[in-house]
Structure 1
Amino acid sequence: MSERGLPENYFRYPRRGRRLDHDWFGRRLMHDATPFAWPGGKKLAVWIGMTLEHFPIDMSGLPFMPTGGMVRPAPSYWDYTQRDYGNRIGAYRLFEAFDAHAIRPDIIANLAALERHPALTAELDRRGLDVIAGGLDMTCLHHADLPEAAERAMISDCLDGLHALTGKRPRGWLGPGQSVSPRTFALLAEAGVDHALDLNNDELPYDIAVPFGRLSSLPVNYELSDRRIMVELGQSAACYRAQIEAACARLAREATPQAPRLLMVMLSPWVSGQPFRIAEIEALLATLAAEAEAVFLGAGAIMDASRNPFA
């Protein structure tokens, strides 16, 4: 045992080295990114994603509790109904806010959320919105101790189920709680997934090294998510709006037609769809829509543009 009472091999990680501790991607600085252009020559792309999630009432918290998971011991009807508010009310309030500016958000959906709320599935179909696979539900996490066969089945069941419900097989993936195992990316590529939103270390897409097909990281800045700022940090909707607007202004100032920038904004209906917050969200969307250098793009369009560099 070590001085800290831990096993001697506790700090031994076979992948550790002087560079990166994995082989999924290499180092890249922003100024090394291959030049490309957003549609219309805009300097800033704005992606809006809205989550539709199912937090089971008996969440165990193992191997970890994702943000938004149950705070009280199971069964917690208080936690459960607070999260379910988003699927019953908050999502429709956000849809109205999007409509005011002709914004088409991408939907990050747990399969269980759409199975349990057929009215929501019908609403997505009516609006023709693209769905990014969000796993089976918020308890089905991806982690190192998960057997490979079980993880492969979780991915295929989610993709197949969403395909059956929506009529389209998702191109993108965001694991529940942004959970990733050492095998997740290879299994996603094997299943035909095109891009994953689980990593946070960039502001533009980049390729992930996988043995099958092509998989790219479309990095979501979790620091700018509503649940990070308003739930974890307990800040107001006005503070949240100010931070997104500051990020938008900075990125627009940094961007050029040859070196564009990307702002990723992810909203949770049970957070941003509350009546005391929605006015700030509406004002935020108005600011983003008024940015002359910006264009709203879905994940698929972002990937297509970023993979077509200048000659």
Structure 2
Amino acid sequence: MFDSRHIRTFHAVVASGSYSAAARLLGYTQPAITQQMKALERAAGTPLFTRLGRRMQLTEAGESLARHAETILGTLSAAESQLKAYARLRTGRVRLCGFPSANATLVPEALSALAAEHPGVQVELLEGEPPASLRRLERGECDITLAFTYPGLHEEVPDEVVEVRLLEDQLTVLLPTGHALARRRAVHLADLAEERWIAGCPRCRANLLHECAGLGFVPDIRFATDDNLVVQSLVAQGLGVAMMPALVLPSLSLTRVCGRTLEPAARRHISAYVRRDHLRIPATAVVLDMLRQVAANRVGC
């Protein structure tokens, strides 16, 4: 296999016409040039130069290599420039998998900041609920996964996956604006024991059942959907109430629903997960940093 340094030196010898001229051009000693050309000839398995008086003359093999050398060096230069662009965040691609409420709130803010500071870094946005989204990370289908857990639930991840805590998201109850309890600033979960409920994803549904069981009742779940817009629409039509993360409240698009703080207080934990070796990839690291910054501005939401 050829050494790229030897190819560069060979190209300089061909361009300048002699070992001594190449030495002056590259800042080497002439013996160093001679040694490199001997090493290149050993790698090639055939002589590349013959001497014609004081001049160096290319052999047929040397002429063939000379034709390729400029292309090889051009390709290496392009590769070096591309790698520097990745390292300096002028380019790069990150696959980010988030759950719906994060993709509607945290992610757009983070990507807006990213676009302002590093417009060359592209993000492919995927969607998935935990724990399925964590499995996508483990299979290498994404570079960063956003996921949430509830108190008492520990996310099982391999040793090579790092959890980065982002924020704690308070849970609220979503009510029709005409509901009798909508006049309160906070609603006790026990007061909703006789209500019809709209449940979210399987993990959210399990938490709802757990919270209600702690207060001695089983919620009457009439609908289940992980689409927040559908939840809002069902609540607006008076078809039930729903447990909703506060993260979603600023994006409520309907005027006939309202969010109220739950008592006793309940929260979910939102984290980013990334493979440990990906923390060294500049584009992945900067997207993670943007998510941290956005989350820090929402602490206590």
* Structure showing greater Rg: 2
TM above 0.5, yes or no, is no
Q: Greater relative contact order (Cα 8 A, min sep 6): structure 1 or 2?
A: 1
Normalised to the residue count of structure 2, the TM-score between the two structures is 0.23
Normalised to the residue count of structure 1, the TM-score between the two structures is 0.22
| Bigger proportion of residues as strand | 2
